[in-house]
Structure 1
Amino acid sequence: MDALDILTDLENVVPLFQPIFNAEEHKIIGYEILGRYVSEKEELSLGSFFQDEMIPEEYRIEVENVVFSKAMEVASCSGEQDLLWFVNREAGLLMMDDGEGFLQSILSFQGKGIRPENIVLEISDRHVQNHIEHLINYYKSYGIKIAVGKVGSESSYLNRIAGIEPDILKIDMSSLRSNNSGPAYLDVLHSLSILARKIGAAILFENIETPYQLQFAWKNGGRFYQGFYLKKPQTDLLEKDILKEKLKAEIHGFILSEKKRLQSYYDLRVELNSKFQDLINRNKKGHSSNELLKALGESMDGIAFRMYICDEDGFQLSPNLYKTDDEWIIQPKYENKNWSWRPYFLENIIRMRSGKKGILSDRYSDIETGEVIRTFSLPLNDKEFLFVDLSASYLHKREGLF
């Protein structure tokens, strides 16, 4: 539809409200405001209109202001004082007047019960610009919250995201439609949740369309949830508790599944610790590091594919014992290499020394084989530590651990 047709028919430009649910109480805590053009002939999303750089800026700003004003009229009549209103804005349009137009629009509704603290300004990370920090800080001084959206699909501005210190990161779940997604992609999404925690931002997972996506959002630190699986955009506001019982039941199922997985994890750790302690006690005396590894390898068929021994500083004291085809081989080239640069390596050394027991790593992709594995490590004494890389096939057999 032509932009001028919309500009000359602003009466039919209306807001829709897509509810956002929280993890703590399973209730609606706010709405994202979306623009629609609704006439007798058609109903159009205005998303492409707002993003079309061929349309003059003043046209887009005018329509944005109409959508926002109509939405705030609905909000002010709702009687709800604690709801959050998520408003999408392009950084370039905001900065045309140094952000004053948008700010004054917000302040004009204070007399009707809408406080700046109720507004969440959402900026897509592809629109984050070098000089926007001063504008963000200006808005924050009024209590306006900041969200950076579309992080899961376009995450090339992480330094700038950290620079503006958003209150909320919106992670896009569009590409995660089933549990067939590759482990590398899942790990990227998980790393974004770690980024959010590091910079003190809450996580909002958007575009949730399946139960699997909701479970992933819950498992990866999502505080807020949004998407068609929960509720589609509405012309009216909904009861806050409309999905409370449904979400409570679904999340209870997630909790049971995660507890079962964690129990499998701890059971495996105890089992491996007992098995290796017994093997080491039977083979340690009078054996060199190489002889000890070979003796252990004879009992590790189908369980491990690589073993080696390091000192407390991460220097490898032994060669690798590596399983290839049907035999264990010695790989001397790894001897004397240092692994202290690996994440958590030294922390795990201290954990093993203090606890006097083995530990099981999280899941990761092995650099050499490309397989998703875990490493079991345990102290041989105060200065020597055994590392055992468990095979992917073995982990596949352990429910929930691959």
Structure 2
Amino acid sequence: MDPLDVISNLDKVIPYFQPIYGADTQNCIGIEVVGRMNLETLHSLEFFFANDLVPDDYLLEVDNHILIQALDEVLRTKFDGGIFINRHPSALLSDDPENLLTILQSYEEKGIKLSKVVIILQHQLFYGFEKELKNLITYYQTYGIKFAINSVNDKLINLEKLRHLSPDIIKIDFKMVQQLHTASFQDLLNSVIYVARKIGASMYYDGIIDSIQLRNAWKNGGRFYQGAYLCKPQASITKANYECEPLKNDIVKFIRGEKSKLIALRDMTNLIQLRVESAINKYKLGEDINSFLLSISSELNSFCFRMYICDEDGFQQSANLFKLYGEQWELQHQYKGRNWSWRPYFLETVLKMQSNDQGQLSDMYRDIETGEKIRTFSYPMSNGNYLYIDLSYDFLFKHNELLF
């Protein structure tokens, strides 16, 4: 379909409404307004708004036509949730900001609060115009209008620019990232979540088509959820699924599953601590630290491949005791004296051990030298020393609770 077909059939362009659900209420907290054209069949207008050749005035005309109908529907149904509207950044910037504000304020007089309005922008569509867009966002935010930026797409994103724009909501569209490898997507997602936390933005996940994606959204800090799995776009707000049973049922399952994993992880951590304490008590730490490591290796051989001892500042007091093959251990003296305080969470972990006098199990991470995914168990010893034990991947693999 040609974009001109949309302009010439503007009377056939109508809004559809897709519910957005809140993680806290687990009910519909808002609706996203999406454009449809009702000819002989119903057509999505994504092709129209994604076409770079469509003039800004055409985009504005269609956007405003959809918006006014949607706001009328909100008034008719007395809907009190959030109203999420899509705007093309180029069209938004080319227009007088008062024009959109005038439309919204005319409906504010009828009872629709500006604080209920959320404007969604596509991140990849405003490269090079961040400064102008930042000023516009700030201007609208003074009226209580919120902004959501759809941040992840098939191109690399600039996290610093995303942080500079400081949207109220960061949107993740699963449809846009299906081509990414799972690990790549998770790395990218972790970066976006970090930015969201720093700027105080809520995470909003769209395009959820099954329970697996819903779990990913829930596990990755999602406050808002949307997608065909929960409810498809509807012709009327009244037809929206306000009480979403799949969401409520799944979240209960997610909570139970996560608690089970955490309990199993806690129990395994306690078991490792008992083994370590037993070995330490059996072979008292003396002046020869390396001999001590060799002694306790026989007790801990089944689950670790490397051990070393550091002081509270991260300076290594011993050699590395490294398992080469099978049961063979080797002392690597070149590591003595190295400092590991630069590692993420190293000093924080030391302070935790000082505070509770208990061992600490790290998150999963990839070891620099072996390339394998490992965890490290650290344990406070006497005289301000700390024992570090790297758990082998084989051991982690045998205990699923250690692999997340």
Change (3 A) 1:175 1:298: farther
For 2:236, give the aligned amino acid.
D
Kindly tell me: are residues 303 and 238 of structure 1, through their superposed partners in 2, closer, same or farther at Cα, counting changes over 3 Å?
A: farther
Shift of residue 26 of structure 1? 0.9
Written as runs of structure 1 = structure 2, the 5 A alignment for 1:317-396 is 317-326=317-326, 327-396=328-397
The DSSP-based 3-state class of the residue aligned with 1:375 is: strand
| Secondary structure in 2 matching 1:251 | helix
With over 3 angstroms needed to count, the CA separation of the structure-2 counterparts of 1:52 and 1:188, relative to structure 1, is closer
SS at match of 1:299: helix
Q: Which runs of 5+ in 1 are unaligned?
A: none
Q: Which secondary structure does the structure 1 equivalent of 2:204 belong to?
A: strand
Q: Aligned in 2, Cα 1:214/1:270: closer, same or farther, shift over 3 Å?
A: same
Q: 1:305: how far off?
A: 1.6
Deviation at 1:400, TM superposition (A): 2.8
- Percentage of matched positions with identical amino acids: 39
Q: Is the 8 A contact 1:177 1:212 kept in 2?
A: no
Structure 1 letter corresponding to 2:97: G
Matched residue, 1:96: 94
1:127 aligns with 2:149: no
Q: Distance in 1 between matches of 2:181 and 2:255?
A: 22
The question of whether the paired residues in 1 share the 8 Å contact of 2:366 and 2:373 is answered with yes
Q: Structure 1 residues 285 and 359, CA, compared in 2 at 3 Å: closer, same or farther?
A: closer
| 8 Å Cα contact 1:125-1:155 kept in structure 2 | no
Alignment of 1:66-85 (within 5 A): 66-81=65-80, 83-85=81-83
Aligned length: 399
> Which letter maps to 1:86?
F
| Equivalent pair of 1:15/1:67 in contact (CA under 8 Å) | yes
Structure 1 residue 22, shift from structure 2 partner? 0.6
Deviations 1:93-136 (A, max 9, x none): 11113422222221222233222111101112223432111111
Cα displacement (A) at 1:336 = 1.8
Distance of 2:243 and 2:329 partners within structure 1: 56
The structure richer in helix per residue is 2
Structure 1's 378 and 78: CA in aligned 2 closer, same or farther, altered over 3 A? same
Partner of 1:47: 46
**Secondary structure at 1:29's aligned position in 2?**
strand
The Cα shift of 1:300 comes to 2.6
Rate the CA distance shift 1:316–1:185 in 2: closer, same or farther, 3 A: farther
The structure-2 alpha-carbon separation of the partners of 1:71 and 1:389, relative to structure 1 and needing over 3 Å to count, comes to same
| Range with greater deviation from structure 2 (26-35 or 312-321) | 312-321
Q: TM-score, normalised by structure 2?
A: 0.92
Amino acid at match of 1:349: V
Q: Distance in 1 between matches of 2:347 and 2:27?
A: 42
Q: Counterpart amino acid of 2:52?
A: E
Cα distance, 1:198 vs structure 2: 2.1
What SS class does the counterpart of residue 55 from structure 1 fall into? coil
Deviation string, structure 1 residues 6-43 (Cα, Å, up to 9, x no partner): 11111111111111001111100111111111201x33
C-alpha distance in structure 1 between counterparts of 2:44 and 2:240, whole Å: 25
TM-superposed deviation, 1:319: 2.0
CA separation of 1:4 and 1:177: change in aligned 2, threshold 3 A: closer
SS in 1 for 2:222: coil
Give the conservation status (yes or no) of the 8 Å contact 1:14–1:70. yes
Residues 378, 387 of structure 2: 8 Å contact kept: yes
Query: Partners of 1:389 and 1:84 in 2: how far apart?
Result: 49
Conservation of the 8 A alpha-carbon contact between 1:360 and 1:376: yes
1:293–1:308 contact (8 Å) kept in structure 2: yes
CA distance in 1, matches of 2:223, 2:296: 45
- Structure 2 CA distance for aligned equivalents of residues 100 and 261 of structure 1: 53
2:64 aligns with 65
Deviation at 1:255, TM superposition (A): 0.9
Residues 1:383 and 1:345: Cα distance change in structure 2 (over 3 Å): same
- Structure 1 residue 170 displacement after superposition: 0.9
Query: Deviation per CA, 1:198-242, whole angstroms, max 9, x where unpaired?
Result: 211111111111111111211222111111111111111147764
The answer (yes or no) to whether the contact 2:311–2:317 under 8 Å persists in 1 is yes
1:374-400 CA-partner distances (Å, limit 9, x unpaired): 111011125211111111221122233
Q: Closer, same or farther in 2 for the Cα pair 1:363/1:86, shift >3 Å?
A: same
- State the one-letter code of the partner of 2:314: G
Per the normalisation by structure 1, the TM-score is 0.93
Taking the aligned partners of 1:393 and 1:133, their CA distance within structure 2 comes to 50
Distance 1:136 1:306, change over 3 A: same
Deviation at 1:340, TM superposition (A): 0.9
Provide the alpha-carbon RMSD of the alignment.
Answer: 2.2
- Which AA in structure 1 matches 2:49? F
Distance 1:190 1:320 in 2: 32
SS at match of 2:109: helix
Q: Which residue of 1 aligns with 2:103?
A: 105
Is the aligned partner of 1:314 residue 2:314? yes
Q: Which residue of 2 aligns with 1:210?
A: 210
Q: Which residue identity does 2:93 align to in structure 1?
A: M
Counterpart in 2 of 1:401?
A: 402
**Separation in structure 1 between the aligned mates of residue 240 and residue 231 of structure 2, nearest angstrom:** 12
Contact 1:27 1:240 (C-alpha < 8 Å) held by counterparts = no
The CA distance in 2 between the partners of 1:341 and 1:321, in whole Å, is 21
Distance 2:385 2:375 in 1: 20
In structure 2, C-alpha distance between the alignment counterparts of 1:289 and 1:368, rounded to whole Å: 23
- Following the alignment from structure 2 to structure 1, what is the Cα–Cα distance between the partners of residues 361 and 236? 50
SS at match of 1:223: strand
* Contact residue 153 and residue 172 of structure 1 kept, 8 A: no
- Alpha-carbon offset, residue 172 of structure 1: 2.5
* CA distance in 1: counterparts of 2:239 and 2:370, whole angstroms: 52
> Cα–Cα, structure 1 residues 366 and 182, in superposed 2: closer, same or farther, change >3 Å?
farther
Aligned-pair distance for 1:191? 3.8
